[in-house]
Amino acid sequence: MSFLIRRLGFYLIAAFVAITLNFFIPRMMVGDPVTLMFARFQGRLDPHALASLKAAFGFVEGPILQQFATYLQNLAQGNLGTSVSQFPVSVAQVMGVGLGWTLRLAGTATIVSFLAGTLLGIVAAWRRGRFADNYILPLLSLLGAFPYFFVAMLALYIFAFQFGWFPVLHAYDLNIAEDWTSSAFLISVFQHSILPALTLIFTAMGGWMLGMRNNMIGILSQDFIVMAQAKGLRDRRVMLTYAARNAILPSLTGFAISLGFVVGGILLVEIVFSYPGVGYLLLSAVNARDYPLMQGIFLLTTFTVLLANLFVDLLYVLLDPRAR
Amino acid sequence: MFKKYSSIVLVAVALTLVLSIGVSFAQDSVPRGGTVVVNESPQGSWVRNFSPFAPNPLPGTTRVIYDPLVVYNPVDGGKPTWWLATGSKYSDDLKSVTFTLRDGVKWSDGQPFTADDVVFTFGLFQKFPALDRNGLLAFTDSAEKVDDHTVKFNLKSVYTQADIQIGGMFPVPQHVWSTIADPTTYTNDNPVATGAFTEVKDFSDQVYSLCRNTNYWQNGTDGKPLPYVDCLQYPAYTDNNAANLALINGEMDWGGNFVPDLDTTYVAKDPEHFHYYFYGGSPWVFMTNTTKKPFDDVKVRWAMDLAIDYNTISQTAENGYTTVDPLNASGIYPKWKDWVPDSVNKKIADMGLGTFNEDKAKQILDDAGYKVGSDGFRNMPDGTPIGPFKIQIVNGWTDVVTAAQIISQGFQDIGLNASVVTPDFGAWQTNLQQGTFDTSLAWSVWGVTPYDFYHNILGKDLIDDKGVSTGQFQPRIYSDDITKSLQDFLLTNDAAKQKDIVGQLADYYVTNVVSSPLSPWPSWYEFSTLHFVGWPDKNNNFSLGSPWDNNGTRVTANAIHCVDATSCGQK
């Protein structure tokens, strides 16, 4: 119990620090949102519009501590504020647009790559020096070593552009209306997600596989494994319930953190495949110095990571009796 | 006998009927229908916001949904294309301007468009200054309805740009907006407007369509209301590359994309249907920060002007795209070249401005006392080295970065220690506004008369007392005479007097080498004739073509139609 309270206390402090840094760091960047927005039009906007824009965005001007106080007040009420670059739409609404897609694509890809990578890692460790260990592991590690956008663009060019096996852009066919009850729409979503998901999965799998394999090898050398085998337990049982169960613990922490970062968006995927999501939203928010939107996305990311960490902390206690 | 003739008469009548129908059909019929896929510029995902007052409304809102009073088509050299208004006239004392509105215009919900709507919109600006995107409150006192189709704007003082700025306003329907409590936060999800495309169809974060306004006021050559096409579809793209991919794949009919090496990347994929046409857009200039030494010396600026390789920039950086004449070194746009006095042109020729002449540049610097030091770079006349300086340009704008590099090389050749730096857009822009830059490439304003160019580059009223500019990029050269000339321009409506003043401004600009105009940057515009024709091109440039052009986009959208009746509606 005291463990739980201590952990919660730690996370609360971490959350507060995150909120504060979240507010101040973007404002350290050179430039302010209003004049930036004006300049974006490259002389096509009437110069006199600047005064009107400044009037519209009074909420990002003023003494900084006052702005911080307002920000905290709003946050306590669950109000993330109004976006500057997408004025007058609220930050929550802007984020909601991309969040669904990001969670679906990045979430699925992260989970699948973790499961597949971990399973392969178990196999590679158990059958050391055989096929999985000698061929699959180096191949996946190689794929993971390339910069992601390189692999993605190559895949896009070869499989989508040249061979035409997959659609080139977007999350679904533009001529099908967005209707989650329609099977045509769902099929289109699935088709468009294959290439982005596969590139994500194959580049991430190598890391999980390597990590799991190394953890396993460490465990396999221990006495209790020999004991289990001596007792006559089936190989598979020893591999999974004895070795893997202990070996997976370090990987789980990494997995939790990855899940947390899922909400930060997968910027490179979104750029290469023109896939909607939170990553590009964040990039354009930074470019436009859209402080409220940046704060909203950063906040979501940090909170999710913290939550994921808390979750893993608790899970650890459950899985590993030694930690209790 | 009657029977014999009656059959002939019958045949003759039938023949005439058929022929006349056939002839009139061939003359006036235009294939109607179809959905045009447009890309204005990559913007990520769409968030529903069709308010013409939003700082960032969705593409199409101020281009085809809402109409201004007057369209100033850039290729028309400032001549007004009357749109919702059919005329404007100043009073004799120039303190008011009266607009006559077009008859028979209806809002997309069927209600009539009248002077009440215009007066109401101006009233909105007065109540909520944040909406005043055209800056009318600075010079307009009030708007009064003279009758259902006439509005009189009373000015605070004489300001002869008033008709142009007021002409750009987008009236909104009083019967809709008077019910909105806070128009500054209203996202106007279902716009009621007078434009050709007002119906929003199938809105999602990835794509939306703007479809035909059945109450549109303009008719086509076939006598039926415009537009010829049914809808404009706007897919969302996160990146220029993604947009280009769609363009190359033939999935986009109308693009405003920056495409490197257009002929091989785009046109070669389908030379019969893929086209581009770039009428020159915003004039880009090279400018120095004259608050920093040695840029405060006109001789140094003069020498730098001569060290710029204009032709190579035009060829390499922009692939020779622009089809219009290069900019006159006075900054006056080619379509206004008769505004440049002969004396100014002579000065330009004597000074060699706008030409690449490294020897002359070196000569000028030597004569002015900037001798080359032992490190190969020049020193100030007092011996201190001219410190290394930067040419700043936005990271990622590859065509302009290339131009900057060519310029930097030219400066190095004449002994100036220049190098290129590429901050992100926000930092680049802030440096220019705060006056902390060394030198920079920047766009300049391209307005309805040459006045805008000079006002934006020489106007002291655009700088606040801390030296921060309110949006425009300036080398910080000012003079009281010029300030007076700029003000005088606004006080007169006499074309001859205005030309005279512009001549004085041009003379000052050239004599002081205020900045160096490079070339009009291409106004990106690609179009595919696979499904739709009627596009503006170099043989028929009735409009700029670019889907992001404030004025001309609506003209282009009204002109295009599908190739033939069978291809309409089939994509």
Asked which of B173-177, B197-201, B463-467 is least confident by mean pLDDT, the reply is B463-467
| Sequence-separated contacts (24+) of B393-397 with Cβ below 8 Å | B393/B420, B393/B421, B393/B422, B393/B428, B393/B440, B393/B441, B394/B422, B394/B423, B394/B424, B394/B425, B394/B428, B395/B422, B395/B423, B395/B424, B395/B425, B395/B428, B396/B422
Here the contacts of B553-556 (C-beta below 8 Å, separation 24 or greater) are B553/B63, B553/B64, B554/B63, B554/B64, B554/B67, B554/B71, B554/B195, B554/B196, B555/B71, B555/B73, B555/B81
Q: What number is the average pLDDT over the span A201-210? A: 91
CA distances from A51 to A58, B62, B246, B566 (A): 11, 19, 38, 51
Choose among B84, B174, B181, B98: nearest CA to B140: B98
Contact B44 A280 (CB under 8 A): yes
Number of A–B residue contacts, CB under 8 Å: 172
DSSP code per residue over A42-61: TT-S-TTHHHHHHHHTGGG-
Q: Are residues B514 and B381 in the same domain?
A: yes
**8 Å CB contact of A35 and B430:** yes
CA distance B105 to B116: 13
Confidence at residue B440, expressed as pLDDT on a 0 to 100 scale: 94
Chain B contact set for A32 (CB, 8 A): 430
Report the residue of chain A nearest B453, measured CA to CA.
A43
Q: How close B490 gets to chain A, by Cα (Å)? A: 15
CATH number at residue B96: 3.90.76.10
Q: What angle do CA B377, B380, B384 make, to 5 degrees?
A: 85
- DSSP at B334: G
CA R_g for chain B: 27
Distance in angstroms (rounded) separating the CA atoms of residues A47 and B455:
11
CB atoms near residue B473 (< 10 Å): 25
CB contact under 8 A, A48 and B138: yes
Report the alpha-carbon distance of residue B267 to residue B279 in Å, rounded.
18
pLDDT for B26: 45
Residue B40 belongs to a domain: no
Closest residue of A to B249, CA-based?
A161
Report the residue of A169, A195, A282 to disrupt the B interface, i.e. the one with the largest count of B CBs within 10 Å. Answer: A169
pLDDT at residue B25 in the model: 46
State the pLDDT at residue A186.
92
* Domain final position from B134, B153, B177: B177
Residue B23: the pLDDT is 45
- Could you say which of A172, A174, A287 has the minimum Cβ distance to residue B424? A287
Torsion, Cα of B496, B502, B503, B506 (10° steps): -170
Query: How would residue A267 be classed by pLDDT, with cut points 50, 70 and 90?
Result: confident
**Cβ contact (<8 Å) for B54 and A171?**
no
Tell me what pLDDT residue A69 has.
Answer: 86
The 10s digit of each residue's pLDDT in A105-151 is 998 999 999 999 999 998 888 888 888 888 888 999 998 899 888 99
**What pLDDT does residue A115 have?**
93
Are B326 and B377 contained in the same domain? yes
Which among A95, A298, A99, A124 is positioned nearest to A206, based on CA atoms? A124
Same domain, B159 and B208: no
Q: Write out chain B residues lying below 8 Å of A89, CB-based.
A: 47-49, 187
Q: Is residue B94 located within the same domain as residue B144?
A: yes
On whether both B304 and B334 belong to a single domain, the answer is yes
Strand (E) or helix (H) holding B138:
none
**CB within 8 Å of chain A, chain B residues 346-405:** none
Copy the structure tokens of residue A96: 């909601």
Q: B428 and B444 share a domain?
A: yes
User: Distance (Å, rounded) from C-alpha A294 to C-alpha A83?
Assistant: 9
Q: Quote the tokens at residue A83.
A: 């976006």
Residue at a domain's end among B522, B539, B556: B522
Contact B451, B433 (CB under 8 A): no
- Please indicate, yes or no, whether residues B170 and B135 belong to a single structural domain of this protein: yes
Of B8-17, B266-275, B301-310, give the lowest mean pLDDT range. Answer: B8-17
Contact B463/A at CB under 8 A: no
Nearest CA in chain A to B56: A86
* Of the partner residues A40, A174, A272, the one whose CB lies closest to the CB of residue B235: A174
Answer whether B470 sits within 8 Å of A47, measured CB to CB: yes
Q: Calculate how close chain A gets to B238, using CA atoms only, in Å.
A: 5
| pLDDT level of residue A86 (50, 70, 90 thresholds) | confident
Chain B residues within 8 A of A270 when measuring between CB atoms? 238
Residue in A closest to B50 by C-alpha: A88
Nearest-CA neighbor of B166 among B499, B546, B460, B448? B448
Q: Chain B, 131-190: which have a CB under 8 Å from a chain A CB?
A: 131-136, 138, 165, 168, 184-187
pTM of the model: 0.82
Task: Quote the domain boundaries for residue B133.
Answer: 50-177
Would you state the pLDDT for residue B22?
45
Q: Is the pLDDT of residue B99 over 90?
A: yes
Bigger pLDDT: A84 or B291? B291
- The 10 Å Cβ neighbour count of residue B518 is 25
**Domain check: are B308 and B233 in the same one?**
no
Amino acid A259: pLDDT: 83
Q: pLDDT band for position A56 (50/70/90)?
A: low
Environment class of residue B412 by beta-carbon count within 10 Å: exposed (0-12), middle (13-18) or buried (19+)? Answer: middle
Task: Nearest chain B residue to A162 by CA: give it.
Answer: B249
Does any CB of chain A come closer than 8 Å to the CB of residue B24?
Answer: no
Higher pLDDT, A104 or A67: A104
Ranked by mean pLDDT, the top range of A310-314, B10-14, B303-307 is B303-307
Q: Would B423 be classed as within a structural domain?
A: yes
- 3-state DSSP call for residue B338? helix
Note the helical H segments in A221-290: 223-230, 235-237, 245-262, 267-273, 278-287
pLDDT digits (tens, 9 = 90+) for B299-358: 999 999 999 998 888 777 666 565 455 678 888 877 788 889 999 999 999 999 988 999
Is A56–B47 a contact, with Cβ atoms under 8 angstroms apart? no
Distance from CA of A94 to the nearest CA of B (A): 7
**Among candidates A30, A86, A98 on the partner chain, residue whose Cβ is nearest the Cβ of B426:** A30
What percentage of chain A exceeds 90 in pLDDT? Answer: 18
Choice among A95-109, B463-477, B513-527 with the minimum mean pLDDT = B463-477
How many residues are listed for chain A in this entry? 324
CA A138 to chain centre: 25
* Cα separation, A117 vs A110, whole angstroms: 10
A6 class by beta-carbon count within 10 Å (0-12 exposed, 13-18 middle, 19+ buried): exposed
Given a cut of 60, whether residue A250 has pLDDT beyond it is yes
Q: Compute, in degrees rounded to 10, the torsion defined by CA atoms A147, A153, A154, A159.
A: 140
Q: Decide which of A42 and B520 is more confident.
A: B520
For residues A224-246, average pLDDT: 86
- Rounded mean pLDDT, B190-197: 95
* Residue B20 domain flag: no
Q: What is the dihedral of CA B258, B262, B264, B265, to 10 degrees?
A: 30
Comparing alpha-carbon positions, the chain B residue that sits nearest to A86 is: B56
pLDDT at B257: 85
The pLDDT assigned to B24 comes to 45
User: Using CA of residue B318, residue B323, residue B327, residue B328, what is the dihedral sign?
Assistant: positive
H helical segments located in B320-397: 342-351, 358-367
Give B46's contacts in chain A (Cβ within 8 Å). Answer: 97
Could you say which of A36, A88, A274 has the minimum Cβ distance to residue B242?
A: A274
Q: Taking residues B229-253, report their average pLDDT.
A: 88
Chain-centre distance for alpha carbon B61: 16
Interface of B with A in 239-258 (CB under 8 A): 239, 241-243, 245-246, 249
The answer on B435 and B343 residing in a single domain is yes
Q: How sure is the predictor about B471, in pLDDT bands with cuts at 50, 70 and 90?
A: low
Alpha-carbon gap, residue B166 to B389, rounded angstroms: 43
Is A49's CB within 8 Å of B135's CB?
yes
Q: Supply angle C-alpha B220, B223, B227, rounded to 5.
A: 30
Same-domain status, B289 and B171: no
- Going by pLDDT thresholds of 50, 70 and 90, the confidence category of residue B527 is very high
pLDDT at B229: 93
Residue at B33 is within a domain = no
Clarify whether residues B308 and B395 are in a common domain: yes
Residue B90 has a pLDDT of: 94
Boundary of a domain, candidates B177, B204, B233: B177
> Are B358 and B217 members of one domain?
no
Residues 6+ apart with CB under 8 A from A243: A122, A125, A126, A216, A219, A220, A225
Which DSSP state fits B262? H
pLDDT at B260 over 50: yes
Query: Residue A40 corresponds to which tokens in the numbers above?
Result: 């974006």
Angle between helices A183-220 and A108-126 (to 10 degrees): 30
- Tell me what the pLDDT averaged over chain A comes to: 84
Q: How many CB atoms lie within 10 A of CB B390?
A: 18
Q: Which residue among B134, B202, B548 places its CB closest to the CB of A177?
A: B202
Is pLDDT above 70 for A38? no
Cβ contacts of A273 on chain B, cutoff 8 Å:
242
Instruction: Say if the Cβ atoms of B282 and A35 lie within 8 Å.
Output: no
Using the beta-carbon criterion (under 8 Å), do A98 and B425 form an inter-chain contact? no
Residue B45 lies in a domain: no
**Across the interface, do A172 and B242 touch by the CB < 8 Å criterion?**
no
Token digits of residue A91? 């930050």
Distance CA(A266)–CA(A277), nearest Å, equals: 8
Record: contact B472-A52, CB cut-off 8 A: no
| Alpha-carbon gap: A305 to the closest alpha carbon of chain B (Å) | 25
Q: DSSP H helical segments within B268-397, as ranges?
A: 298-306, 310-312, 342-351, 358-367
- Secondary structure (3-state) at B441: strand
B237 Cβ under 8 Å from any chain A Cβ = yes
Q: Which residues of chain A are within 8 Å of residue B443 when distances are taken between CB atoms?
A: 42-43
Structural domain total, chain B:
3
Where is A109: in which H helix or E strand? Answer: helix A108-126
Residues paired with B274 in a beta bridge? B528
Sequence-separated (6 or more) residues with CB below 8 Å from residue A164: none
Range among B204-218, B255-269, B318-332, B509-523 with highest mean pLDDT value: B204-218
pLDDT, averaged across chain B: 86
Look up the CATH number of the domain holding residue B562.
Answer: 3.40.190.10
Contact B130 A55 (CB under 8 A): yes
Residues of A in contact with B235 (CB under 8 A): 169-170, 174
Contact A47 B236 (CB under 8 A): no
B375: phi then psi, degrees, rounded to nearest 5: -90, 5
Cβ within 8 Å, pair A280-B238: yes
Is position B467 within any domain? yes
Given 3-state DSSP classes, what are the helix, strand and coil percentages for chain A, each rounded to the nearest 5? 75, 0, 25
Does residue B233 sit within a domain? yes
pLDDT at site B501 = 93
Selecting from A43, A170, A277 the residue whose C-beta is nearest the C-beta of B446 gives: A43
Interface test with A, best of B35, B36, B40, B47 (most A CBs within 10 A): B47
Token readout for B228 is 């010829």
Distance CA B301, CA B294 (A): 9
Binary contact (B246, A97; C-beta < 8 A): no
What is the average pLDDT across B93-114? 94
**Structural domain contains residue B43:** no
pLDDT digits (tens, 9 = 90+) for A184-200: 899 999 999 999 999 99
- The answer to whether the Cβ–Cβ distance between A35 and B429 falls below 8 Å is yes
